[in-house]
Amino acid sequence: MMTEVHSAGQSQPAALGVGSHYVRRAGDEPAMQEAPLRARHRLGYGQILALIAALVAFGIFVRSQAGNPNMDWNVTGEYLFHPLILNGVAVTIQLAVLAMLISIVLAFGVAVAIQSTNKVASALGRAYVWFFRGVPMLVQVLLWYNLAVLFPTILGRDTNTLISGFTAGLFALSLAESGYMAEIIRGGILSVPAGQTDAGVSLGLTRGQALRRIVLPQSIRVIIPPTGNQFIGMLKATSLVSVIGGSDLLTRAQLIYGQNFKILPLLVVAVLWYLVLVTIASIGQYFLEKRFNNSQPGSRQARKGAGTPGTTTTAIRSMTGGALWKRQRR
Amino acid sequence: MEATAPVITKADTMLRIDGVHKWLGDNHVLKGVDIEVRTGEIVCILGPSGSGKSTLLRCINHLDPVDGGTIEIAGERVGYETRSGHLYEQRERQVAKARQQIGMVFQHFNLFGHMTALENVTYGPAKILGRPRKQVLATARELLAKVGMADRAEAYPSQLSGGQQQRVAIARALAMEPRLMMFDEPTSALDPELVGEVLATMRQVAEEGMTMVVVTHEIGFAREVADRVVFMDQGRVLEDGPAREVLDDPRHERTATFLRRVR
Ligand SMILES: Nc1ncnc2c1ncn2[C@@H]1O[C@H](COP(=O)(O)OP(=O)(O)OP(=O)(O)O)[C@@H](O)[C@H]1O
Ligand SMILES: [Mg+2]
């Protein structure tokens, strides 16, 4: 019975006429594909023209500016690895990473509050997002730095010594970012089908437990890629703390050109470093996205390397330090 | 659940649904539903789409609160309690506790996507009931073997066919040792070829004496396995009687037309 199968599709002989009826017999093999198709891309005239135009424009710009006395490349080279600048780069990285971590923790709380059945918590969560996402980051930085006007002392200590440019910047960036992150996390929560909550609750979890233990772990897949984007944004946003002397990269560059008046060369130093940081972050983002997009729920795509079909869960588990080893051992 | 004294256990009521009303928005979905299910009894609920069958099941384990009437499991109200003459909705934790006794199997399986088949089955007894790990694992493996999924214990739901997922979902519900199992169209999201394997698993559960409420369009299953068949339409029970009587000799005209159409 299994040797004769009605076949509809590729294994049918091409010359099957209308009304005929094909039945596959044992040993009746469909033709193998001999070689994959290889078609060449034609280089269009449009692309060639665009390339020439871009090269010419770039050449003109370089020729006109290379000799510009205000654009002193030696100074740029001299300060690129200056200890003060390197220290500023370190501060910028610290600021971005810490602010991002704090904002994610806050945002989880806010997102859960908004989604909860507790109406007061939900309203407070929405108000939080409304405020911290609504007020420009730069204004928030200034607000935190000038907190001393409202509260001259905190716990008996002078506010201005307690809150340095760095801490004020860190608070401001964390809180402003947490408004955005809360919405991203909420989107992640909403992306998990309601049936998951139903199943958890029917098993005997409370709604809150189902949210935390069943829904949140599955929302990570949706949350990770935009979080990468936010981090890249955050790397750049750290430059805002230069207005309050946050000792970050841009603050240091400004400090130096304030003394030697080599404004543009030092700004170029800053530009180069920001580009380096963002490029590194983008590469990380690329791999994260690839990993998480490859593993949509329900997809059975094989993951490279591992012998088992890849799933969202493997990615999530490795992210959350879960029991990935258990599967790879097999 | 032992089949030692079936005559006596069949006598008491496991589930009593009394005059239940439910609105969803402006939609009067359940209009006074009465159903009684005795311990060990298997009741199939039939009815056209939109007649309120899913809503009724969701009301039974208080996923949706009722707007009128009462639902009792083994004599205890689900989701509500009376204190000093006033009716209160129970706290989440109490409702959650009550739900542990009611197994639910969904049309779309709803297996936890971030857990393997085995973890889906162990989750309830280990993390909710707090049973010792060793015992939980042993029982879970037994259950998976029973539903024919022992060799796919480490697979994730996305790596399983619909029928396989549904069988794991049944094992997951059974792992909580519920007093009542509810099935909401457990086979209607499946390819025709996979329906049989799930029905066979359900038949097996039925044979072990489980009290079951099954919403289904599988007339054959209802005829063979059910003790009683309830026919619902537009939020009301139109007919309720012994399975063969209702299916082969429906008394209500609406039941008869419905059965002619699905057959
Ligand atoms: N959230 C909602 N708001 C308003 N009406 C709803 C909502 N959900 C369901 N309904 C309506 O309630 C009625 C009963 O729905 P229910 O899902 O219980 O029917 P059912 O008998 O399970 O149907 P099916 O066989 O299609 O599953 C339907 O008319 C449906 O349109
Ligand atoms: Mg339904």
Per-residue model confidence as pLDDT tens digits over A135-190: 999 999 999 988 877 777 777 777 777 778 888 999 999 999 999 999 999 999 99
Nearest-angstrom CA–CA distance, A183 and A87: 34
- Report the phi/psi class of residue B148: left, alpha or beta, with left for phi > 0 and alpha for psi in -120 to 50: left
Q: How close is the nearest chain B Cα to the Cα of A322, in Å?
A: 11
**Residues contacting A232, CB < 8 A, separation 6+:** A278, A281, A282, A285
For residue B50, which ligand has an atom nearest its CA?
Answer: 1
Span B154-177, average pLDDT: 96
Question: Touching check for B92 and chain A: CB below 8 Å?
Answer: yes
A16: confidence class by pLDDT, cuts 50, 70, 90: low
For residue B47, which ligand has an atom nearest its CA?
Answer: 1
Which residue has the least CA distance to atom 9 on ligand 1? B24
Q: How many CB pairs under 8 A join A and B?
A: 82
Q: Is the C-alpha dihedral spanning A240, A245, A246, A251 positive or negative?
A: positive
**Residues contacting A98, CB < 8 A, separation 6+:** A170, A174
How far apart are the CA of B2 and the centre of ligand 2, in A? 31
Q: How close is the nearest chain A Cα to the Cα of B167, in Å?
A: 15
Nearest-angstrom CA–CA distance, B41 and A129: 52
pLDDT higher than 90, residue A39: no
Question: Which among A202, A206, A298 has CB closest to B93?
Answer: A206
Three-class SS state of A29: coil
pLDDT higher than 70, residue A4: no
How far apart are the CA of B74 and the centre of ligand 1, in A? 27
| Residue B69 · residue B33 · CB < 8 Å | yes
Question: Touching check for B212 and chain A: CB below 8 Å?
Answer: no
Question: Touching check for A195 and chain B: CB below 8 Å?
Answer: yes
**Alpha helical stretches, state H, A67-193:** 73-80, 83-115, 119-134, 137-145, 147-150, 159-162, 165-191
Nearest-angstrom CA–CA distance, A51 and A59: 12
**Which pLDDT score, from 0 to 100, does residue A95 have?**
95
Of all residues in chain A, the one with the smallest CA distance to B173 is: A203
Chain A residues with beta carbon closer than 8 angstroms to that of B153: none
Which residue in this structure is represented by tokens 């020439």? Answer: A52
pLDDT higher than 60, residue A79: yes
**Which pLDDT score, from 0 to 100, does residue A44 have?**
82
Nearest-angstrom CA–CA distance, B231 and B246: 8
Nearest-angstrom CA–CA distance, A308 and B156: 10
Q: Is the C-alpha dihedral spanning B171, B173, B176, B180 positive or negative?
A: negative
In this predicted complex, what is the ipTM? 0.92
Neighbour-count burial of A162, counting CB atoms closer than 10 A to its CB (0-12 exposed, 13-18 middle, 19+ buried): middle
Amino acid at B131: R
Tell me the pTM: 0.79
pLDDT, one tens digit per residue, over A247-284 is 899 999 999 999 988 888 899 999 999 999 999 999 99
How far apart are the CA of B183 and the centre of ligand 2, in A? 10
**Atom of ligand 1 minimally distant from the CA of B53:** 21
Nearest-angstrom CA–CA distance, A61 and A87: 32
Token digits of residue A92: 């910028």
Chain B residues with beta carbon closer than 8 angstroms to that of A210: none
pLDDT, one tens digit per residue, over B34-46 is 999 999 999 999 9
Span B181-187, average pLDDT: 97
pLDDT, one tens digit per residue, over B17-27 is 999 999 999 99
Question: Touching check for B137 and chain A: CB below 8 Å?
Answer: no
**Which pLDDT score, from 0 to 100, does residue B5 have?**
45
- Report the phi/psi class of residue B112: left, alpha or beta, with left for phi > 0 and alpha for psi in -120 to 50: beta
Question: Touching check for A321 and chain B: CB below 8 Å?
Answer: no
pLDDT, one tens digit per residue, over B192-237 is 889 999 999 999 999 999 999 999 999 999 999 999 999 999 999 9
Under an 8 A CB cutoff, do B156 and A330 touch? no
pLDDT, one tens digit per residue, over B64-110 is 999 999 999 998 898 888 888 888 888 989 999 999 999 999 999 99
**Atom of ligand 1 minimally distant from the CA of B232:** 21
Nearest-angstrom CA–CA distance, B121 and B111: 9
Token digits of residue A222: 């949706």
